[in-house]
Amino acid sequence: MVAVPARPIPQPRPLTVVTPVATPRNRSRSSLKTRSWPWLGICQKIGLGLGASLGAGVLGVYCFNVYLDSRWSRNFQQLDQLRQQELKLTATTALLRDEVLEQGQQSGKGWVSAKPSDLIFLQPAPPRPANPVPAPELPAPTASVGY
């Protein structure tokens, strides 16, 4: 066995509190920024205002587009329904016309095709004389309006 000399255990040093010394550099760092660049705060406020305005504008345009899209969709659906109704009415009118013609031909209820000898022709009335329209009189200018 080898003997190892015992080392002395180091004792902790007493703590010393270091207080920062107030220097003009440490003391007024934030006030120095605002004093040397006052326009920076103004630019920041303007930028925030413009950003908020732009955001509100974009949101407004988006909402308007969504509103127009929903309105267009409703109007298109209404137009489609009206087209379907028009087709139904056209088909119903054609069916009714065909049915009336068939009933008239089958039952012999006096349906007669028109002949030129049965038609009445009227002579046109003679043309009326045209009423003259008086020309409006413009007052003569009293003073020269030009150069």
Q: What's the pTM value of the predicted model, to 2 decimals? A: 0.40
pLDDT at residue 146, rounded to an integer: 61
- pLDDT tens sequence across 80-103: 999 999 999 999 999 999 988 887
Give the Cα separation of 45 and 54 in Å (integer).
14
Give buried/exposed letters for 10-35 (b at 16+ CB in 10 A, else e).
Answer: eeeeeeeeeeeeeeeeeeeeeeeeee
Grade residue 145 by pLDDT with cuts at 50, 70 and 90.
Answer: low
| Tokens describing residue 75 | 């109007």
Report the 3 state secondary structure along 108-137.
CCCCCCCCHHHCCCCCCCCCCCCCCCCCCC
